[in-house]
Amino acid sequence: MIKYLLSASWMAIASITLADTKLEILKPVLPTSKAPALSPATRENVIIYKEPGRYGGWPANHGLWQWGDEMVVGFTSTWYKSTTTDHRIDRTKPSYEIQARSMDGGKTWKTEENVPFADRQKEAKPTPLTEPLNFTSPDSAIKFCFGGLHAGPSWFYTSADRCKTWHGPYAFEVEGVQGICTRTDLIVLGPRDCLMFGSCGKKNDGKEGRVFCARTTDGGLTWKFVSYIGEEPQPGGFAIMPSTVRTKDGTLLTTIRMGKPKASIELWRSDDLGQNWTHVSAVTGNIGGNPPATVLLPDGRVCVTYGYRHQPAGIRARISSDEGKTWLPEIVIRDDGFDGDLGYPRALVRPDGKLFTVYYYNGPQEDDRAIEGTFWTPPHSH
């Protein structure tokens, strides 16, 4: 149970920051196509966080980590309020950034509130990182955060003990890049060498809406701009929230959430560590607006999971065996959502080969808002 000790002033503003402010009005919308869909070969749903009157949301803005059977996921907890024009949250009340831990491979979870980023009112001002990080340390984790209304600034926290204690916040800046809105999307290249992918402000309207790649070779002390991915969207449009994997041959594949009019997920490819990018394919059509969670399966295939905000609302996925050139039919992991206020997944592959996708979800009642997860395997025929 959350301890309600925080006042509402600054935290109410923070709840807007961490929510998906690009959510469209919550009205029933018919699917955009009637293409045949597949079902997982196996599927098991679990509850990670659910409290009466509370609203758990947006794991994609936080992180998901695993060390064998120990797993940690971050998310936001705020207050439920009935509305049809926004997330069903009460923006006059505080929100909390917390995490949950499982010690049995994700079957059961315990909420942890004693983290330095839980109380944003008391959060220290970001300072420069002074000691280089070892990105290959086996028990380490990094969590990126952002402030403002999706217009920066950004900072990060580090942990050397499996998210039990966190250090920071540390300032995050990339020369020449404005309005950085980072979530956690990293590709580790070596002990001091790491690529990061984030969203930033557009030059044409200053709003969050373009994806960039940056790199550190000194353990995070400094980050240098590498490239933008794709052209800058037109005013009113956006490209945000990348999710990136690196194949065995070193190819980078990053999926990006697109705004209106597409509201799709698009895949881009780089064969030179992010210097240059080529558009590969549209992973989805219009899904109503949701970020991707991209992983590599043990056999090398690419799997992208996402929230589906049309009706029937739920969680879906697509798999490619040729690095995104073509995609198998959509896999419907869940289609029992109350409405489209759901998704924002994080995903990983368990040691037994099963996929585990974490997301925020609703239903069967209107006021059900929880952090849930699904263990699943792809259809046998594919």
pLDDT by residue (tens digit) across 154-163?
Answer: 999 999 999 9
How far apart are the C-alpha atoms of 349 and 112, rounded to whole Å?
A: 23
pLDDT by residue (tens digit) across 197-234?
Answer: 999 999 888 788 999 999 999 999 999 999 999 999 98
> Could you tell me whether strands 96-102 and 343-349 are parallel, antiparallel, or unpaired per DSSP bridges?
unpaired
Quick one: pLDDT band at residue 286, thresholds 50, 70, 90?
very high
CATH code reported for the domain at 9-63+78-96+175-377: 2.120.10.10
How far apart are the C-alpha atoms of 379 and 382, rounded to whole Å?
A: 6
How far apart are the C-alpha atoms of 213 and 219, rounded to whole Å?
A: 16
The more confidently predicted of residues 2 and 174 is 174
pLDDT at 17 over 50: no
pLDDT by residue (tens digit) across 232-270?
Answer: 998 889 999 999 999 999 999 999 999 988 999 999 999
Q: Taking CA 259 as the corner, what is the angle to CA 233 and CA 278, rounded to the nearest 5 degrees? A: 55
- Domain residue ranges in the chain: 9-63+78-96+175-377
Amino acid of residue 253: L
The per-residue pLDDT for 150 is 57
Q: Enter the pTM of the model.
A: 0.91
The residue-averaged pLDDT of 37-60 equals 96
Amino acid of residue 3: K
How far apart are the C-alpha atoms of 78 and 24, rounded to whole Å?
A: 20
